[in-house]
Amino acid sequence: MPATGSLAHSVQQAAQLIAAVLDGGNLTAAYERLTARHPEWPDASRGAVRDLAWSTLREYGRGDAILGRLMRSPPPPVVRAILLVGLHRLMQRPEQAYTIVDQCVEATAATMPGLKATVNGVLRNALRQREAWQGWIEASEPARHAHPQWWIDLLRRSQPQRWAEVLAVGNLHPPMSVRVNRRRIDVEVAQAKLAGAGIETRRLDDDALLLARPVGVGQLPGFAEGELSVQDAGAQRAAVLLDARDGDRVLDACAAPGGKTAHLLERNELELLALEQDPERAPRIVRNLERLGLSARVEVADCCALDDWWDGRPFDRILADVPCSASGVVRRHPDIKWLRRPEDIAAFAATQSRILDALWRTLAPGGTMLYVTCSVFDAENAAQIARFCERHSDAQRLAIDDRPDCQLLPSAEHDGFYFARLRKFR
């Protein structure tokens, strides 16, 4: 077994995660299971495994294109994953080629020792043909953009002016932002405390603090005390756009893990109900609120099954942060782009329609519902809201920044989100 902390150990463990994804599994869930089995791993080892797995999957299309030119038949999944990790590392750090090949062979020896020679031969052959890599990558759009073809085609239709930019950003490391709990600390004081800890930040719109470089949560001064929360700057717009007022009765309909729930409560005194259909995720809402010194009624329920949870009293504000393709946060969850299928988008759109129609019944006349996705696909966003307004003559759009809605595309400052505000006028 490779020594914990060695590159061979990181390659071996990252390959296990990638193999799980290639078998249809969820990357984050696989990582959480792996680290739970190894509480003795130091943070540096956990981070190295995570970084290798996530970054390899972001560029899976490129590694797969190269590997397809080097092997006539695919090896077992975990060995294929080791090769993908090795190729990714060789692309990123060519000056370390000898060490990378050696450590990938050692990782194979600990996993499937009979295939050590195969891994050694494939990687050394890859190095001999390094000058051909770019041509192999440029030969197909999935390799060039490191996204599936159907995804590229759909994004080209949804974002005809910026599709290539969105794909490129989706292959980068995501930014890290924090939200300041104003009930416990001022934004300026929090920023100064971060600076004192050597963490450089920049204040964005809506008072999100963008870190110059990501750090571990344990390094954030005031996090344990509930002064800060990690939340993408784009996601922080939701509470602002919902524009709840003190005393409002508010529903957060798809609430886990509770970041937007907490943000709403940090801003105003509310009677807030947080619903979450997944019983395993709902406790995360409670834990987040407890850390921040906040409280809300949290229930496990399907928001569409009104008879199971609604008491008939209408809500003044509803946050409908609905299930979606997550195409706007794919750099945080790179397995998504390889696990999703074209038919999934229509399925998500159908679910979103059911949620919107059900929640609309619970909104008070004069009340506001904020529709939110972390998608960049039109079928889940503007087209969804257009269809909703056709079905509901009592729905009025409220402008966002002088536009009918707001599509945030992923950038260096935030992830991709869509927002639409709807008022019920009778």
User: 178 with 228: CB under 8 angstroms?
Assistant: yes
Q: How many CB atoms lie within 10 A of CB 269?
A: 11
Please name the residues in contact with 47: beta carbons below 8 A apart, sequence gap of 6 or more: 216
DSSP string, 305-342: -HHHH--SPPEEEEEEE-----GGGTTTSTHHHHH--H
Between the alpha carbon of residue 178 and those of residues 19, 213, 255, 402, the distances in Å are 32, 12, 19, 27
User: 328 with 376: CB under 8 angstroms?
Assistant: yes
Cα separation, 100 vs 268, whole angstroms: 53
Q: Is 147 exposed, middle or buried (CB count within 10 Å of its CB: 0-12, 13-18, 19+)?
A: buried
Cα 312-313-316 angle, rounded to 5 deg: 135
**Positive or negative: CA dihedral 245, 248, 252, 257:** positive
Residue with tokens 């020594």, as numbered in its chain: 3
406 as an active site residue: the answer is: no
Q: What DSSP state is assigned to residue 175?
A: P
Cα separation, 230 vs 240, whole angstroms: 17
**Positive or negative: CA dihedral 305, 309, 311, 313:** negative
At 149, the amino acid letter reads: Q
Q: Measure CA of the first residue to CA of the last residue in the chain; give whole Å.
A: 68
Bridge partners, residue 210, by sequence:
177, 202
The residue from 254, 303, 374, 406 that is catalytic is 374
Preceding amide of 404 cis, omega within 30:
no
Catalytic residues: 374
